[in-house]
Amino acid sequence: MKNLTEEQLYAQLQNLTSNILDLDEEAMSQIQVRLDSLTKPQGSLGQLEHLAKQLGGIQRTSKPKIEKKAVLLMAGDHGVVEEGVSAFPQEVTPQMAYNIMNGGAAINVLSRQAKAEVFLTDVGIAFPIEGNINHKRVANGTKNMTKGPAMTRREALEALLVGAEVAEEKIREGYNLFATGELGIGNTTPSSAIVSILTDSAIEDVVGRGTGIDDAGVIRKRRAIEKAIEVNQPDKTDALDVLAKVGGLEIAAIAGSILQAAASHVPFVIDGFISTAGALIAAKLAPKSVAYMIPSHGSVEIGHRNALAGLGLDPILNLDMRLGEGTGAAITFYIVESALHILEEMATFADAGVSEKSE
């Protein structure tokens, strides 16, 4: 990608988004017939039935299957931490990356339970690290968005396409259910900025405590976002402009991975606040990509409900979580697979000799 011009990178992005199709209505209709024939009142399994149809529409078959599951965890740092918006120093990003590589983080534990694999990609950690990490660095973190754009338009494009490349690699290896994941101190600040701009939300309605900042920290965070928007004047009708001016490298990569999955007919479980900010970018770049998204949990970060509402999605789980890393999405893998077990294994009225509803 380094050898390509910005125009060529943009052409690649346009080609990617143009390959995202509507869901297969015929497959979904066939699944609905199957669901209605099962030994239960019609519609009584609620979101499980919706998920079964969605998976069929995504995979374009009346018999959807989950082969291999992966959490695509994108890591990047943020120059805006200079403004005192985080309770933790930036050095925690590489420290947590090593913890994930060693299998000791919450996302490792929950992914092992769900029989999913975690793939960590360095899109732009400020401190380069070694080890079992996918090195696809675009920059050494973003710049301080209160003083100018977080990144150039070219860097935003590169990070989007890095995410797409990671997803494409895993799809070729047979993975066909993904979860978003992220790592990066300070990343709730650009996420709040993105959500505020793209959902027309007041800043105070989308700025939470992140890693645990106090009241003074929340005020600093709000002011930093206000200043970043004032300085950069992001165009809310241009998702790439918003991403470049107030976004993050890992947020861009999340968006790119979602777009690639959608273009490849692969469902994507969306994690919490930061991941949903990335999903909003993906949705603005390719509105049809929303149909390929499966919301996981409702984060206690106050802006998450606004972000999900901007996508027209409701969370499946409410567990008072706010860790990130893909933890809520990994738990949701169970729910997604339950929908397919119902579709595949449950008896029909005819099979079981059970009388159907009287007319």
39 secondary structure, DSSP code? S
pLDDT of residue 127: 85
Examine the pLDDT at 217 and tell me if it is beyond 90.
Answer: no
| C-beta separation of 279 from 293 below 8 A | yes
- For position 358, what pLDDT does the model report? 67
The dihedral over CA atoms of 328, 333, 335, 336, expressed in degrees to the nearest 10, equals: 130
Contact present, 321 and 288 (Cβ < 8 Å): no
Q: Which among 234, 239, 138 is positioned nearest to 184, based on CA atoms?
A: 138
- The reported pLDDT for the residue numbered 264 is 98
Give tens-digit pLDDT for 243-294: 999 999 999 999 999 999 999 999 999 999 999 999 999 999 999 999 999 9
Measured between alpha carbons, how far is residue 224 from residues 83, 145, 147, 219, 254 in Å? Answer: 7, 8, 10, 9, 23
Give the DSSP letter of residue 252: H
pTM above 0.95, yes or no: yes
Instruction: Give pLDDT tens digits for 101-150.
Output: 999 999 999 999 999 999 999 999 998 899 989 999 999 999 999 999 99
Averaged pLDDT for residues 220-233: 97
| Residue among 325, 344, 345, 359 flagged as catalytic | 325
Instruction: List residues bridging with 117 in a β-sheet.
Output: 70
> How much of the chain, in percent, has pLDDT values that exceed 90?
94
Known active-site residue 169: no
End-to-end CA distance of the chain: 62
Q: Is 46 in contact with 157 (CB distance < 8 Å)? A: no
Mean pLDDT in residue range 154-179: 98
At 351, the pLDDT band (50, 70, 90 cuts) reads confident
The model's confidence at residue 354, banded by pLDDT at 50, 70 and 90, is confident
Angle CA 62–164–283, to nearest 5: 70
DSSP 66: -
* Structure tokens that stand for 110 in this block: 């929950």
Query: What strand order describes the sheet that includes 117-124?
Result: 134-135, 117-124, 69-76, 177-183, 268-270, 293-295
pLDDT-derived band at 152 (thresholds 50, 70, 90) equals very high
90: amino acid identity, one letter? Q
Across residues 297-322, what is the average pLDDT? 96
Q: Which two tokens stand for residue 337?
A: 């697979």
pLDDT at 359 over 70: no
pLDDT digits (tens, 9 = 90+) for 43-97: 999 999 999 999 999 999 999 999 999 999 999 999 999 999 999 999 999 999 9
What does the alpha-carbon distance between residue 194 and residue 174 come to, in Å, rounded to a whole number? 33
